[in-house]
Structure 1
Amino acid sequence: MSGGSEKKVYQARSITVTFEARRCLHAAECVQGLPEVFDIAKRPWIQPGNATAERLAEVVRRCPSGALRYELVDGGTDAPAGPP
């Protein structure tokens, strides 16, 4: 039995993206939002160096399941959005 959640980490110079497969709903927000970073035909399938940290963070925040998360090298994280 494999215990716990398995998170994969993908690092670039200014951002680190993590992916937790068991949480993924396959909504494809990532693939549609930044196909140059999220490409399921490539290995690794997440290549965070192919976009700016700001643009990548914007797309990761669209992930409806929370399977994708990010942390900026300067310390910023993807805090859940509050009500408008």
Structure 2
Amino acid sequence: METHKYPNGDITVIWQPQKCIHSAICVKTLPKVYNPKERPWIKAENATPEELKKQIDLCPSGALSYKFNTKQ
């Protein structure tokens, strides 16, 4: 399945477009991060890891997920 990753220091936003049902909860919740008219449309650096985690947990389709980045 196609996957796109958008890092933000401590957290990486993962988007799977085939799962997206276009509910727009992401855009409504964090418009400074999610803007479908721009490329890249996800700018994870515009929110804190906690804000991203909270919003991603609301995604009804599971198209958005996240992983915490570990220091090497």
TM-score, normalised via structure 2 length: 0.92
- The number of equivalent residue pairs is 70
Query: Larger Cα Rg: Structure 1 or Structure 2?
Result: 1
Say if 2:16 is the partner of 1:11. Answer: no
Say if 2:50 is the partner of 1:49. Answer: no
Residues in 2 aligned to 1:20 and 1:48: alpha-carbon distance in whole angstroms: 15
Residues in 2 aligned to 1:44 and 1:14: alpha-carbon distance in whole angstroms: 19
List runs of 5+ in structure 2 lacking aligned partners: none
TM-score, normalised via structure 1 length: 0.80
Percent of pairs identical after alignment? Answer: 41
Residues in 2 aligned to 1:8 and 1:73: alpha-carbon distance in whole angstroms: 15
Partner of 1:26: 22
Give 2:66's match in structure 1, choosing from 63, 70, 76: 70
Q: With a CA cutoff of 8 Å and minimum separation of 6, indicate the structure with the bigger relative contact order.
A: 2
Cα distance, 1:26 vs. partner? 0.4
**Runs of 4+ that moved beyond 4 A:** none
List runs of 5+ in structure 1 lacking aligned partners: 75-84
Partner of 1:61: 57
Partner of 1:80: none
